[in-house]
Amino acid sequence: MSRLLVSALVALIVVLGTGGGSASPALAQAAPPTDCGWRPPVDAPVVDPFRPPEGPYGAGNRGIEYGVTDGAPVRAVADGRVGFRGPVAGRLYLVVHHDGDLRSTYGPLASIDVLRGATVAAGAPVATAAVGFHLTARIGERYIDPGPLLDGTCGPPRLVPPTRLIDRPTGIR
């Protein structure tokens, strides 16, 4: 994904994120990048899809949970660089930074096969999964739905002209 596309996406999200609403801006669903290119991290069914919470501590699912068996191989969803690997609250997690401000987080993990700072290629083995394996995607601190990135449904942006206001009874614009 080009840096220009990522920069434009981040700018759009910042603009849209300031539009109000009841959800916390850090947890609201944002538009995914236009060049999907992500691959599923595991060969397992989704058992709990993305469900954005209404606030920073609200119920929901900030990513996708997969029905894996302990020790299932975990692959990088896209090219990137390992930014974090290690325990969080006693469970292993891995964070990979992608172009722009996009990050993927994998966990809980049974083991991690890459070092912090390592460059990883899309589809490369990076870890083994633990039961309850979860994938999240973030742009900055904003959680986004990783589903469109994985299934290729994010398409190129298209500009839509503003709707013309027409006085229907008289036809006057």
- pTM value > 0.75: no
Chunk the chain into consecutive blocks of 10 residues (it has 173) and report each block's average pLDDT, rounded to whole numbers: 42 37 40 65 94 85 94 96 96 94 95 97 96 94 89 56 49 49
The token duo for 19 is 């539009």
As a whole number of angstroms, the longest Cα–Cα distance in the chain is: 70
Report the C-alpha gap between 142 and 77 in whole angstroms: 18
Query: Shortest CA distance to 133 belongs to which of 76, 69, 81, 90?
Result: 69
Fill in the DSSP letter of residue 70: T
